[in-house]
Amino acid sequence: MINYLIRRLIWSVAVVVGVSVVVFIVTHAIGDPVRLMLPLEATQEEYLAMRHAWGFDRPLHVQFADFAAKALRGDFGESLWQRTPALELVIDRLPASFLLSFVAIFIALVGSIPLGILAALRPRSLLDRVCVIGSLFGVCVPVFWLGMMVILLFAVDLGWFYTSGYGTWKHLVLPAVTLAALPVGRITQIVRSSMLDELHQSYMRTARAKGLTEGYIIVRHALKNASIPIVTLAAWELTRMLAGYTIVVEKVFAWPGFGLLAMQAIERHDLTLVQADVFVVALIVVTLNILIDFIYAALDPRVRFE
Amino acid sequence: MKASPADTAVLPRRAIIEEERFPFWRNLWKLIRDLSRDRVATMGVLIVFIVVFAAVAAPLVAPYDPTKQNLAKRLTPPSWALGGDAKYWLGTDQLGRDILSRIVYGGRVSLTVGLSVVAIAGAFGISIGLISGYFGGRTDDILMRLTDIQTAFPGLLLALTIITMIGPSVRNIIIVLSINGWMVYARITRGIMLSLRETPFVDAALVIGCRHGRIIFRHALPNLLSPLLTLTTLELARIILAEASLSFLGLGVQPPAASWGLMIADGHQYITRGWWLVTFPGLAIALTVFGVNLVASWLRTYSDPTQRYRQIRTVE
């Protein structure tokens, strides 16, 4: 158990280090950060002055050592755009993104589990087909487009919710539902297929023979056994949301999370802020991955930490 | 062997041999027959066919030049809607460009990016997976560790960072999406390769003195083709969506060229004045991805009979 934990930790550190190295290489070696940060009309003298002031004229390995040492202490430097420490800016945005993602995954689970079970119970019924085709549509529709469509319908035409912004539940509903659409599709599919597998198992017959009610068998026997892929997928979807989809949804709804911050930083060529943002997201992803492993083991006693 | 009169008596056997010589055509025929029995899959193939045809023959299909502006006609609603113009079926955008023509040309971007990324990422990922699964041991450990690490990267954010540095263009989108997309091929190929490695035909090939490269590519790879084909099709759908997202964020094709994601981004600020600016390109993306997904799910059930009970068949 301890060994397993240590190995997971080493692996996580490797991921975070890997991300930092890639971000460093991309921002320092592939492109020219100074050119990017300076306005287009800057002169050669200004260019050289800035290059020197920011230390971009030093050898790459020296720059990397400096970058790594500071990153370890959580110091990414000041944001060019806001003139405050970049890491703080990112951390300020965390609650908004977390709120959005957790509400979205909650909606997704509440919506998809009953749907998937019903579809698996009556394979090839009308409901099953509607579910399969519907969940396929959830997977096919681009998130940002779906966001605009719900804005058009529920905010512009019906006026039930706000088109964009942050603050009340009226702001939250549309982005959360939009973000939930893709996971609903995928989770419904996995609930359906893993329930189908479980319903064919012989322990189901045994349970029925014992005289248990159908509802009890489905929820306590089949769903419990089917829950491992479901929970794994849901956690994986949450990771993907935090590491990507939120960016697009936050952009559509002007939701002030770290995804929107990343886009703003990119538009303003604020490299320090981009680095801090990517670093924080990598940390979140790694932490979630470890959590997924633990959930996995907690649900399935056969899984041993080795 | 000399031809003897007796040979003519065993004509049926010859016919069989003839047939064996063209397994490709026979398989294709079987494929088409299976497809025609499955209405959902036929729909998928039809959608994909239409999209591909429109993209390839764009100059013939599109009614107008996709970049030609007509400011007098800006924000014209679709022809059937109130205030629509019969000349513009799907209406015009904020610069008076024909939406339908832009959608037709936008399909070219989606397909170019999708197919290139699938080819590059697929070739790389499959090679890694084959090597990893075939040699096993330390090679496998190292390669799979690297794959795991990269899988844990926040892909979209890294893609954004890279494009910010190297500049937005179709070529660069292909590069970043390929960098982000090879891991799933490596994982799946390795998984199948590991079990193939234990089958007798690999040992047999080793015993008769085949080199590793030959065993991997001539013996093992053909056995992997059908699961990989399904995976590739699924990935194509995913990449088309990813390209749309990147274009939407302004990191793909640059104006005035058209891509579906970019059209939606452009229409975003006119959303209250012209719903058609956003709606139709989005429908184009959704339909294309839907079609590709249907084809993928049909390929899966076609190539793996044990999956048949999951098939969404409309004809029993």
ipTM over 0.85: no
Contact residues on chain A for B261, CB-CB shorter than 8 A: 142, 144
Tokens describing residue A171: 């702001």
Q: Identify which of B145, B149, B157 has the shortest CB distance to residue A281.
A: B157
Angle between helical axes of A246-253 and A86-121 (0-180°, round to 10): 100
Contact residues on chain A for B162, CB-CB shorter than 8 A: 26, 30
Contact by Cβ (8 Å): B260, B244: yes
Tokens describing residue B228: 């990989």
Distance spanning both ends of chain B, measured CA to CA:
49
The pLDDT score that the predictor gives to residue A137 is 78
| Reported pTM | 0.83
Prior bond of A123 cis (ω within 30°): no
The one-letter amino acid code at A202 reads S
pLDDT band at residue A103 using 50, 70 and 90 as cut-offs? very high
CA of A301 to nearest chain B CA: how many angstroms apart? 24
Please write the tens of the pLDDT for every residue from B153-165.
Answer: 777 888 888 888 8
Residue B48's nearest CA partner among B283, B265, B299, B292 is: B292
Contact by Cβ (8 Å): A123, B311: no
CA of B65 to nearest chain A CA: how many angstroms apart? 25
Residue B85 contacts by C-beta under 8 Å, 6 or more apart in sequence? B73, B76, B79, B91, B92
CA dihedral A22, A26, A28, A32 (to 10 degrees): 180
B152/A289 touch (CB, cutoff 8 Å), yes or no? yes
Q: How many CB atoms are located within 10 Å of the residue B20 CB?
A: 9
The pLDDT score that the predictor gives to residue B23 is 67
Residue A118 contacts by C-beta under 8 Å, 6 or more apart in sequence? A127, A128, A131
Low-confidence spans in chain B with pLDDT less than 70: 1-23, 303-316
CA dist list (Å): A305 to A2, A231, A285 = 9, 18, 21
B285/A243 touch (CB, cutoff 8 Å), yes or no? no
The pLDDT score that the predictor gives to residue A109 is 92
Choose, out of A9, A15, A24, A140, the residue to mutate when testing the contact with B (most B CBs < 10 Å). A140
Q: Identify which of A33, A132, A266 has the shortest CB distance to residue B160.
A: A266
CA dist list (Å): A55 to A31, A207, A275, B76 = 15, 70, 16, 53
CA dist list (Å): A217 to A64, A124, A214, A301 = 58, 21, 5, 20
Choose, out of A131, A148, A273, A289, the residue to mutate when testing the contact with B (most B CBs < 10 Å). A148
Please state, rounded to an integer, the average pLDDT across all residues of chain B: 82
Please write the tens of the pLDDT for every residue from B85-143.
Answer: 777 778 888 887 888 889 999 889 999 999 999 999 999 999 999 999 988 889 888 89
Contact by Cβ (8 Å): A38, A47: yes
Contact by Cβ (8 Å): A179, A249: yes
The pLDDT score that the predictor gives to residue B69 is 81
Q: Which residue of B has its CA nearest to A262?
A: B157
The pLDDT score that the predictor gives to residue B316 is 31
Contact residues on chain A for B158, CB-CB shorter than 8 A: 19, 22-23, 26, 278
Handedness of CA A138, A141, A145, A148 (dihedral sign): negative
Find the DSSP H helices in B155-199: 155-166, 170-181, 183-197
Contact residues on chain B for A137, CB-CB shorter than 8 A: 286, 290
B271/A156 touch (CB, cutoff 8 Å), yes or no? yes
Phi, psi of A173 (to 5 degrees): -55, -55
Dist CA B274 CA B81 (whole Å):
11
List the beta bridge partners of residue A52: none
Contact by Cβ (8 Å): A229, A295: no
Contact by Cβ (8 Å): B220, B130: yes
Please write the tens of the pLDDT for every residue from A161-220.
Answer: 877 777 778 788 889 988 998 888 888 888 888 888 888 888 888 888 888 888 888 888
**Helix, strand and coil percent figures for chain A, each rounded to 5:** 80, 0, 20
Burial of residue B151 (CB within 10 Å: 0-12, 13-18, 19+) is middle
Please state, rounded to an integer, the average pLDDT across all residues of chain A: 82
CA of A225 to nearest chain B CA: how many angstroms apart? 19
Tokens describing residue A116: 């998937």
Please write the tens of the pLDDT for every residue from A218-228.
Answer: 888 888 878 88
Please write the tens of the pLDDT for every residue from B1-10.
Answer: 444 444 444 4
Dist CA B112 CA B109 (whole Å):
5
Beta carbon pairs, A and B, within 8 Å: 143
Dist CA A157 CA A241 (whole Å):
28
Query: What percent of chain A is modeled with pLDDT above 70?
Result: 97
The pLDDT score that the predictor gives to residue B274 is 81
Distance spanning both ends of chain A, measured CA to CA:
7
Mean pLDDT of A249-264: 88
Contact by Cβ (8 Å): A187, A108: yes
The pLDDT score that the predictor gives to residue B124 is 95
Q: Identify which of A145, A247, A281 has the shortest CB distance to residue B285.
A: A145
Tokens describing residue B127: 């090679």
Contact residues on chain A for B155, CB-CB shorter than 8 A: 243-244
